[in-house]
Chains A and B, each alone.
Chain A
Amino acid sequence: MTDDVKDGPDNRGRRDFIESITSVVAAGGIAAAAWPFVQSMNPSLDVLSKSTTEVDLSPMVPGEAKTVSWQGKPVFILRRTDEQIEKMRGEGEGKVPQADDSRVLEPEWLVLIGLCTHLGCVPNRKEEGWFCPCHGSAYDNSGRILRGPAPRNLDLPPYQFVSKDKIIIGKKA
């Protein structure tokens, strides 16, 4: 008799089981179908191919700063003089102390993302470092915040030296 209930339509547990595995399979199917659509909104291959920028450093003289574009963002490159390197050594005098060593690969070359960490304006080059025209944040020659509303030091892009005077931005060292 028990077998009848087990196999018959009255076995509620069996029905619940079928219902829940059907729901799980359906949810899985919907998720799998949604995946290509979600992915299609991520950067396409042609965008990804533009995700690194190579910069030739050989024309830059000590003390020279320049701005290059990487993934549509400005990147500051500063060839620091011995005097600047000397001055920046240590943790700096700003709001967020950080060792200069940890902010560069080679002390001579400073590479920064040129967007103010406050609200994303592009700071202007000054003798002292950089100064943001939007809300007056000032950065030193290591890109560390000295004064103003910015919460962080200027961010560092991933980059590596391909040769002595050539870097590729967008690839981690």
Chain B
Amino acid sequence: MSNKIVAWIDERFPLTAIIKHEMTEYPVPRNLSYWWNFGFLAMTVLVIQLVSGIFLAMHFKADAGMAFDSVEHIMRNVNYGWLIRYMHSTGASAFFIVIFIHMARTLYYGSYRAPRELMWWTGQVLLIMLMATAFMGYLLPWGQMSYWGAQVITNLFGATPFIGPEVVVWLRGDYSVGDPTISRFFSLHYLMPFLVVGMIVIHLVALHMVKSSNPSGINLAAKDNIPFHPYFTIKDIFSIGVFLIIFSALMFFTPNSFIEADNYIPANPLKTPAHIVPEWYFLPFYAILRAVPDLLGGVVAMVLSLLVFAAMPYLDRSSIPGGARYRPFYRALFYVFAVDVFILAYVGAKPPEGFLVPLGQLATFIYFGLFILLPFLSSKEEKWLIKRGLPPKVQELVDAEVAQRAQHKADRAAKRAARRKK
């Protein structure tokens, strides 16, 4: 019976072919470590956020006069409203934890390099979309932190040359963050996840084209692969189990550790809280913003601190595979960068006083300095490693890549010459 139904569908829609191509015969390197599970976990969190968000929207009122009370209504009156809201607020943090780990893995293992540049870039777009969604969602409870966070971030757009003040008013629909702002933020906060889903589809189509990277960094194409299903579906499901245990522990036992106490005070446009901090996942970027003693300069630095990742495939000049694994300099840079980001986060969380100001500036300097140094260091490192002698297998791969690059260059030169002849 079910065979007949599948056959009927297959004549009209390539169901079996898709399952074969994307699941049961989709080749995945057998040596993936658990660091490769975080993409799937990110999708799990997205589903948690979509479901909990849709149910919250049934009870939430996007109105400056009612928003705060409607959130309290959800917490106190709605059946399991407390659970659904804490699921959503904890889910936001979980999303960023998972995505940051996903990104760190890509950086550590050099997965951003050719041919996976588009994966890396769509991932960057997803991160920025996620940040925008989280920022707009944070206004909705209409507490003091929500309000002043939105006030500060929308004011950043005042740095736009010539039309700054007009842009800020346009974004808010009011002279300060007000009722029109919360209505549009709610509308866009509901819209964004669906755009994110669309971008994830592009991300995955690109993945299934270029296939997963792996911890060895060596292209295992068709050599050492196993099918995605059942091996990696089982592995992903197992990681979901572990993830949900940690997530539930956070959600049930310390849900408010991700919510600033000041956000339980209704928004007051006439009084800023004594110490205002953004959500933890914005802290490093917030510290970079504050490190530059100029509004426009700070905004540019903050935007660059996000966009600079996109240049990684070009900044990294080394052809040694395996990312940090076979590259001691690069590995050192990775850990310096990681520590630097934690320092920035710490600086961003504290009031800008005393030694924290120069510390933030130093950390910002190191942040950008590492990206600027990378092209020199990576090509020096490549030469040094080759001179010192690579394992023969790795050397073979490097030679192949160098040859490929030279071939590519020669091809282009030939094409150019041919065009000139015409």
Contact = CB atoms under 8 A, between A and B. Distances in A.
Interface in B74-104: 76-81, 83-84
Contacts, number: 34
A36 B80 contact: yes
Given A37-B51, A40-B78, A45-B76, 8 more contacts: A37-B80, A39-B79, A40-B59, A40-B84, A44-B81, A46-B73, A46-B77, A47-B77
Contacts of A37: 51, 55, 80, 84
A34 to B, nearest CB: 9
Chain A residues touching B, majority SS: helix
A36 B83 CA distance: 8
Nearest to A37: B55
Contacts of B76: 45
A47 B78 CA distance: 9
Interface in A19-69: 36-37, 39-42, 44-47
B77 A45 contact: yes
13 contacts: A36-B84, A37-B55, A37-B80, A40-B55, A40-B58, A40-B81, A40-B84, A41-B58, A44-B78, A44-B79, A45-B76, A45-B77, A46-B73
Contacts of B80: 36-37, 39-40
Interface in A90-146: none
Interface in B31-72: 51, 55, 58-59
Interface in B188-219: none
Interface of B: 51, 55, 58-59, 73, 76-81, 83-84
Contacts of A40: 55, 58-59, 78-81, 84
A54 to B, nearest CB: 21
Interface of A: 36-37, 39-42, 44-47
Residue with the greatest number of chain A CB neighbours at <10 A, chosen from B58, B76, B80, B83: B80
Nearest to A41: B58
Nearest to A46: B77
Top 7 A-B pairs ranked by shortest CB distance?
A: A36-B80, A44-B77, A45-B77, A39-B79, A44-B78, A46-B77, A40-B79
A47 B77 CA distance: 8
Nearest to B76: A45
Contacts of A36: 79-80, 83-84
Contacts of A47: 77
Contact of B73 (A39, A41, A42, A44): A44
Contacts of B58: 40-41
B12 to A, nearest CB: 29
A46 B59 CA distance: 12
A37 B58 CA distance: 11
Nearest to A35: B80
A30 B84 CA distance: 15
A20 to B, nearest CB: 16
A46 B81 CA distance: 13
Contacts of A44: 59, 73, 77-79, 81
Nearest to A47: B77
